[in-house]
Amino acid sequence: MSKRKGKNILRLTASYITLIILAICAIYPALWIVLGSFRPGKSLYSKSLIPESFTLKHYGELFNSRVIMFPQWYMNTLKVAIFSMLLGVLLTMLTSYALSRFRFRGRQNALSVLLVLGMFPGFMSMIAIFLLLKEINLLDKHIALIMVYAAGAPLGLTLIAKGFFDTIPRSLDEAARIDGASNFRIFTSIILPLSRPILTYMALLQFTGPWVDFIFARLILRSKEKWTIAVGMWDMVASQQNSNFTVFAAGAVLIAVPITILFMFMQRLLVEGLTSGASKG
Amino acid sequence: MEMDRHRNNATILSILSMGLGQIYNKQYIKGLLFLLFEAFGIYYLIGNLGKALWGIFTLGDVPRTLVKGKWMEGDHSIFIMVQSLITLVFLIIFIFVYVQNIRDARSVAAERESGKQANTFMQTIRYVLDYKFPVALLSIPTLGILFFTVLPIIFMVMIAFTNYSAPKHIPPAMLVDWVGFDTFKNLLALKSWSRTFYGVLTWTIIWAILSTVTTYFGGMLVALLINQKGIRFKGVWRTILILPYAIPQLISLLVMRNMFNGEFGPINQYLEYFGLGRVPWMTHEIWAKATVILVNMWVGIPVSMLLIMGVLTTIPRDMYEAAEVDGASGYQKFKIVTLPMILFTTAPTLITQFAGNINNFNMIFLLTGGDPVKGDYQYAGATDLLVTWLYKLTLSQNKYNMASAVGIIIFVIIASFSIYNYRRTKSFKEEDMIQ
């Protein structure tokens, strides 16, 4: 018996050590960048993880610098994010509701088409979108970016949302229909209230997208004062060759903290979204 | 004969012009709307169709020329192509509406023959909302997808069959022409291109397999580790280990890029401190490949961990109890119960992740940018995937036709995987059986 107990203790100790090492690996980069943002000076190099003195100067620099238009980029991103979220979620809801609830000719094909189109690398259409937007004079305008994000939303999210709607019992709609409810009414008073988890999931993804996408943003937004935050951050690392690492760190912290907190709170929801297309059935 | 009178009249009238059949059926507002659409359509097509047809065949035939010391602008092949494409799509929509108009007039007339009153406009709207609701709903997103996804894809496919590339065929200075399958032939058979293509393709596949397998089994190990009997504070461990997933990738990858910096990054600094040599994380071919796999594990393991922890909670206890009764050891329980259950539930996600990794643009582009450069490659580095190579070919090299050809090949690979996968999952086959 005691031999078994000893083995057990050994197993648990080894497990805890592994977990602690993994936890350090998980936290270290975040810790490093947060501490880096408080470090005096500009350089990437530092003698120790914890700086000898702390400063808030880099955060101030973000908001006062002429070169780094952080507040402007922040507002731009917020604007694009809110509108693309509203529009994108609406479009996705319409598509997935129609595909989940109604049986019509060409439905199965519509599903396959959505799936196939979703598999084209997004930026394969980049140049074409660029030229199309140029044709209709929308280059360097935020509305163009909003349209691109919102129009892309149904491609990525419809199958997941449809999977969710499929799980809402259809007997509910049928009962309402017998009571004379119209399709719109069924949608707003039965489906919408029941689909809050998937709504939140989609809204979250649509909202955070513009904060981290720089591929389309860089393509469409040409002038610096129109940039979104992602383009600005990428530019700081890629074209300025880290000449101002600590300011980059401060910016990174300001973007990452709100999004990280949002995701931490919603992790359960995210897993549901992740698996709802697959694990069901 | 007398019986078909309405039907034939309505059909013939609506063939003559949109809306006439509806007006004949006494559906005045609907008829007027059709007439207006036709007027607009014909006006647009007269102005554009001829030019579009000419454009799609020739892609322009007047190059920019020097006249008395001044440049005279010629045809811009690519704009001509885009404009022609838009016009042709409009033509297809126009024809589609025209056919619908004829069918509508005919079916309403048929109902009139059987003695029914034609719907008023309000009744029509009501009918559409009740019975054609899904089609009405889908029309708006469809337009968005048509304009921002389908049209660009058609355009890019067309580009692959032209010679639109630097330095010789870049508008507005020069014209672009159709070249048939030459681009694909060059990509697959011309030594300079094919060496890069097969090299990058091989690495893309190796990368996709390694990155999927490492994150999946890594995640499984971590999940099992936390889920062990006797481990305390399970929720805390999970929350800590999920952190890399919650941080936006754009930020975490740019941070990693700095951490693995060979000269000033903290990782090499620690290695030196412990008396180990510096490692050329980003600059040596093999090391760079290892680095991207490693960083991808950091980003990807949390997702698999969450996923598999979710599955673990759904495995019924009595399956383990039954195994225990049969005298199974811990390892046997894992092999007989846990592993098959995990694999069974997560297999589709595994394939999705594999497909996603083939296209994992962010990981490579933000971390290494495809570097280190390989001398015998055409505009690609050692860690470049097909997608990042495509991106470079487009944005920095302007080899649009090559980029499109690469894109089409990526698409074929991904599509065959995903369609196979999707058709197999039960949610597709048996979706009506859930309810």
Residue A241 has pLDDT above 70, yes or no: no
Name which of B129, B138, B387 is nearest A121 (Cβ-Cβ): B387
pLDDT attached to residue B204: 94
pLDDT digits 0-9 by tens, B358-391: 888 888 988 888 888 888 888 888 899 998 898 8
B378 shares a domain with B258? yes
Separation between Cα atoms, residue B112 and residue B25, nearest integer Å: 8
B83 shares a domain with B125? yes
With a CB cutoff of 8 Å and minimum separation 6, the contacts of B299 are: B244, B245, B249, B252, B253, B363
pLDDT digits 0-9 by tens, B118-168: 788 888 888 877 777 788 788 888 888 888 888 888 888 898 998 888 788
B240 shares a domain with B170? no
Chain A, 50 to 89: residues with Cβ < 8 Å from chain B are none
| Among B43, B84, B171, B144, CA closest to A135 | B84
Angular region, B22: left φ>0, alpha ψ -120 to 50, beta rest:
alpha
**Residue at which a domain ends, from B180, B197, B231:** B180
Q: What separation, in Å, do the N-terminal and C-terminal C-alpha atoms of chain A show? A: 44
B370 shares a domain with B399? yes
CATH code of domain A70-239: 1.10.3720.10
Residue B253: give the domain boundaries.
Answer: 185-433
CB pairs under 8 A between A and B: 276
pLDDT digits 0-9 by tens, A97-137: 888 888 888 888 888 788 777 766 666 677 778 777 877 78
Separation between Cα atoms, residue A10 and residue A5, nearest integer Å: 9
Q: Which amino acid is at B53?
A: L
Strand partners, B70: B67
Name which of B83, B310, B414 is nearest A271 (Cβ-Cβ): B310
B257 shares a domain with B126? no
Please tell me the least confidently modeled range out of A46-50, B36-40, B250-254. A46-50
Does B133 contact A at CB distance below 8 Å? Answer: yes
Please tell me the least confidently modeled range out of A15-29, B195-209, B344-358. B344-358
B122 shares a domain with B103? yes
Hey, are the CB atoms on A30 and B307 less than 8 Å from each other? Answer: no
Whether omega before A40 lies within 30 degrees of 0, making that bond cis, reads no
B69 shares a domain with B126? yes
**Residue at which a domain ends, from B156, B180, B204:** B180
Provide the shortest C-alpha distance from residue B346 to chain A (in Å). Answer: 7
Name which of A98, A252, A278 is nearest B137 (Cβ-Cβ): A98
pLDDT digits 0-9 by tens, A185-235: 888 888 888 888 788 888 888 998 888 888 888 888 888 889 998 888 888
ipTM of model: 0.80
Share of residues in chain B with pLDDT > 90 (%)? 18
Q: A277 falls in which pLDDT band (50, 70, 90)?
A: very low
With a CB cutoff of 8 Å and minimum separation 6, the contacts of B336 are: B323, B328
B377 shares a domain with B299? yes
DSSP code for B66:
E
B378 shares a domain with B413? yes
Chain A residues touching residue B387 (CB < 8 angstroms) = 121, 123
Torsional sign, CA A41, A44, A45, A50:
positive
Chain B, 207 to 266: residues with Cβ < 8 Å from chain A are 222, 225-226, 228, 230-231, 237, 239-252, 254-259, 261, 264-266
Provide mean pLDDT across the span B285-314. Answer: 89
**Residue at which a domain ends, from B157, B180, B203:** B180
B340 shares a domain with B231? yes
Does A189 contact B at CB distance below 8 Å? Answer: no
pLDDT attached to residue A275: 55
* pTM, two decimal places: 0.80
Q: What is the DSSP string of B218-264?
A: HHHHHHHHHHSTT---HHHHHHHHHHHHHS-HHHHHHHHHHHT-TTT
DSSP code for B190:
S
Query: What is the CATH classification number for the domain harbouring B330?
Result: 1.10.3720.10
Q: Which amino acid is at A55?
A: T
Contact B38, B20 (CB under 8 A): no
Chain B residues touching residue A16 (CB < 8 angstroms) = 231
pLDDT attached to residue A128: 79
Per the structure, the count of domains in chain B is 2
Hey, are the CB atoms on B241 and A238 less than 8 Å from each other? Answer: no
B172 shares a domain with B89? yes
